[in-house]
Chain A
Amino acid sequence: MSQRDRAVAAVRVAGRGRARRRALTWRRRRQLAGLLCVLPALACTTIFFFVPLGLDFWMSFNQWPLLGDHQFVGLQNYAQAVHDPGFLGSVGVTVLYTVIITPLLLVLAFVLAVLTQGADRASRFFRTLYFLPVPVGLASASYLFVWLVQPNVGPIGRVLQLAGVVQQPPVWLAATIPALLVVVGMVVWKVTGLQMILLMAGMQSIPDAMHEAATVDGAGWWRRFLFITMPLLRPTLALVLVFSVAGSLLAFDQFYIITAGGPSNSTLTAVYTIYRTSFVSFHLGYGAALSILTMLVLAAVSAVQLLLIRQSTELS
């Protein structure tokens, strides 16, 4: 595009020598203005992303204690990482969590979006209700759930006990699967509303004319849903998926607060392991290598999902 612009401008310049200086100045000014406009963002990205990223890369090739001298060790950290049962185990936990939470969030958000997309008062009420947990901080929500499932003071165990379902309030966080379920429950409660709103925005951007045309052609609700809503929603779906999967693969806060990695380290996620490597064991170089590996996986997963967006925009 810009090449063509330049060619057109060059032809113009050649044709009208007098306008030459003015045209160039105008273009330069525009370029300069553009540069000035992106400069703050560029500076921020450089300082807060590219520089730390470069530093992270450099650290990952070193044995780097928190205090004291560091030492270049080449790829040793990476070689250690691919055989580290602790890290690989935490990657497994992270993948398991992502595989559980992603479809759960998406399906629930989809159902809620379909149910509450109307303009009537009831729809608005329930939409607000489902969105309410979204502004709650992740840490606050985590502590809330820790309290809810506490066997001594939490209401959930008490309610189950009063209902006669259990004899004693269960200790949810004492076993892996229930502990994972508590985290999943919290995230579902907190995040579904956001995905619902995003999907709803996507649904509402589909022109009514399409639905009307299909109705005239005799398509029922299901057929319209399957052949109009779903295909046109693909870019939004892909966007929601990228956000959701990236967020789940980077899960840390909710596990740090609710399960503390327990019981028996069975809910340590990848980022949790990176945190512990760097700030409990003080092996910053090894922690940096684990961060780079996690980033590569995340980039690959996101790339695949972005390919989905491109395909779907081409289709539409």
Chain B
Amino acid sequence: MTWEQTIPNLIILLPVIGLILVGLIPSKHGGAIRLVGQLIPLAVLLLAGSLYGSFNILSPQGQFTSSIRWFTLTFPGYDASQHMFVMQEIPIAWSLSVDGISLALLMMTALIIFVAALASIYEVRRLKMYTLFLLLLEIGAYGVFMTESLIWFFIFFEFTLISLYFLVGQYGGFDRERAANAFLLYNGLGSLFMLIAFVMLFHATGSWDIITVREMLAAQPLEHSQSLFIFFLFLIGFGIKLPIFPFHRWMLEVHREAPPAIVMIHSGVLLKMGAYGLIRFALGFLPEIAREFAWLLAFLGLVNLLYGAFLAYVQNELRLVFAYSSLSHMGIVLFGLAALNAIGLQGAVFQMVSHGLISALLFFILGAVERRMQTSSLKTLGGLAEAMPILSGTLLLAAMANMGLPALSGFISEFQSFLGLFQSEHWLYAAVGLIALVLTALYMLRATLGLTFGPLKVPAVRSENGTVALDDVQPQEVMPLVLLTAAIILIGVYPNVLATPLAATLGDFVARMGGY
């Protein structure tokens, strides 16, 4: 195994080492625990950066592939020609690989998790347990985007489920346990839909390896009804995670209750796992069905887009404005997927990355405001620009990125998604969806302008003792703000930083779907 092949393994291994280290440090050494909790995401970020550096942009295949046989399953197959059972030896492997899509999402994940780890310094209560579950969450989040095995995909997926349950249930707001339970049951259901689909694919192809399954399905497509069934299992399973309109309730509760650092990861990374699953499996495995039901994806995207935007407009709680905004922006990802052409898919991936960065930034600022004001209710807040001009300025920048203003990452991703859908036969949805862009501007401006301009309002609930002063950005807050803002501007000004490594993979992807 060369050094480059080891890097993906190291990215998973580092949080595991971190888990053991933190487990061994007694909980009274808060500083050491915090240090481990921050160093590991930093190391992962650097490793991911080195992957980016040595990525071969011409190759559409997964790179840095490493595969180790984990165990062999002896499973009966039926030999129809001889009318008898044959025992097949099915290898199940630990395999990691990074292609263009994985790379883009991995970079984003590493960055957001690092920033979230920095933002976690405000968690002082039960720090050890927090760090432990955060590390477990990291294993899952990195692993999902890199694994080549359906079983490991499921396992990593469940890691994030288990860890987020505790992070929300322990460190959240008032109603945290209910939010954690809603999260657990909804997402548990989603992952079981996914598992059923995986097992069906296993029975059809006799393999758990993503590449093998994809190639076998391409060579020998399933019966139409069966593919249809699997497609809808994926759509519901990942639709819960994304979330798609009727399944979104849990996501609002988590956004409302979870601590800011966790919402950064949740909104920034975990929602994208749903979109990633849709691209990889629903579209990648079953392109014909995806083509047949592209209108449904576009329709669901439109519903998400408008529903989220309308509801974001009437919320009086900043957290919920951002939460509905996330819901709305996931609609744009669905638009990009529904386009089923290179530009649309690229827009979808761009939107995943860009929205991840923007929502992480928004929720980081929200956390900063909450710490100072002890509330995030729009009714009681106002005039923040007077007391904290830099923070307010960054908030406006993030809001503009969220609205999709040019030269920021939101613009480039929304533009491509819409363009893609306009070029496809379902352009009507895109045309209607344009309304949402106006709505986005409306709700973002309503929320942020009311928050920042005007005379400074200090909410009555704020008590002086034990609270952060009404200062502007503090030294420990500089790094997250700078990193996220820089990434947003970089993608906005020079989109090729993402587009170049994506091009080959997406080109291959679209070619396999028979598109252009």
B is a partner of A: no
